[in-house]
Amino acid sequence: MSAQIISGRDIAAEIRSELTARTVALPDEHGVVPGLATVLVGDDPASHMYVGMKNKAAGKMGIHSRQITLPADTSEAELLGLVAGLNADPQIHGILVQLPLPDHIDEGGVIEAIDPSKDVDGFHPISVGRLATDSGVFFPPCTPAGVIEMLVRSGHDPAGKLVVVVGRSNIVGRPLASLLIRKAPGGNATVTVCHSWTPDLGAVTRSAEILVVAIGRPEMITADMVQPGAVVIDVGSHRIDDPGSEKGYRLCGDVLFDEVKEVAGALSPSPGGVGPMTINTLIMQSVESAEQAGRSD
């Protein structure tokens, strides 16, 4: 039997219409228009593409988006000065500094310079610490938060479930594990985290009621690694050579989709899964930040 397809694209569209309603209400209710500043340093084409997508999505939902593009030789002091200005700017509620930064700039120092209340990307050490200790007000990193939203909205609340996360990166696996064990909606799961030192990966992934894969290896998770009926979320995102196709390449995830969909109970595709949820979460957290700023004025 073929798995239920969890479409991040459809869930993201549903969230967008809810968010647009909130954004439209904000000027009357709180006297603010949500503002998101994206800062891009250098010419990395992938970074330009990601930032462009984020600004386009923000603009569509009535968010004031300010894209600041700086040359690759921008000094660290200039960048820190810019961040300080955005921290103090009442029109800006969310700040995203696109990574990676050029080698001569200390990324950690720049992230730490962002006001945690505007850290809608969730990478400031205060945000990371609050997530890890499940305390205080913070924004989690967008990709894992998008995964949780996807699970809950598709009827697969992780509460009480055995969840296996493959990958322990700071942007996906590790914060996802922290979100899953929170005593909060979307949390309360029992979590195992796998990485490259995990012996017999298949034995562990087969134990999962919910399997979230963020390995960064195209189509590595095969049907024999999945428990029949399990829910599988594929975070992976790749462009691989495909001489048989018109373009000479195709897009895929970390999961061998055609095979796993015959075993899993539910499965998210890639593309069209976690990607759209990541961008949505950034916008959602910018709106939340504006609402918080409006309430505290």
How far is it, in rounded angstroms, from Cα 34 to Cα 41? 23
Annotated catalytic residue within 54, 118, 161, 261: 54
Does residue 189 contact residue 209 with C-beta atoms inside 8 Å?
A: no
Question: What x-and-dash track marks residues 62-101 binding ligand NDP by CB under 6 A?
Answer: ----------------------------------------
Question: Residue 93: phi, psi to the nearest 5?
Answer: -110, -15
Does position 221 bind ligand NDP by CB under 6 A?
no
54 catalytically annotated? yes
Q: State how far the Cα of 1 lies from the Cα of 3, in Å rounded to an integer.
A: 7
Q: Which of 189, 194, 208, 221 binds ligand NDP (CB under 6 A)?
A: 194
Catalytic residue among 119, 121, 234, 254: 121
Residue from 216, 38, 20 nearest 121 by CA: 38
Contact residue for ligand NDP among 151, 215, 233, 252 (CB under 6 A): 215
Give the tokens for residue 272. 């069209």
Residue with tokens 């309360």: 188
Candidates 16, 269, 275, 285; binder of ligand NDP (CB under 6 A) is 275
Query: Cβ–Cβ contacts within 10 Å for residue 250, how many?
Result: 15
Among 194, 202, 164, smallest CA distance to 180 is for 164
- In this structure, what is the dihedral angle of CA atoms 176, 177, 183, 185, given to the nearest 10 degrees? 30
> What minimum distance in Å lies between the beta carbon of 287 and ligand NDP?
19
User: Which positions from 126 through 185 interact with ligand NDP, judged by CB under 6 A?
Assistant: 143, 166-169, 171-173
Residues numbered 14-43 forming contacts with ligand NDP, rule: CB under 6 A: none
For the bound state, the minimum distance from the C-beta of residue 137 to ligand NDP, rounded and expressed in Å, comes to 24
- Rounded to a whole number of angstroms, the minimum distance from the CB of residue 165 to ligand NDP is 9
Query: CB under 6 A: which stretch of 20-28, 235-243, 260-268, 281-289 binds ligand NDP?
Result: 235-243
CA distances from 29 to 25, 92, 96, 163 (A): 6, 18, 25, 40
Compute how many residues bind ligand NDP; rule: CB under 6 A: 26
Q: Which residues bind ligand NDP (CB under 6 A)?
A: 143, 166-169, 171-173, 194-198, 201, 214-217, 235-238, 254, 274-275, 278
Q: Which residues are catalytic?
A: 54, 98, 121
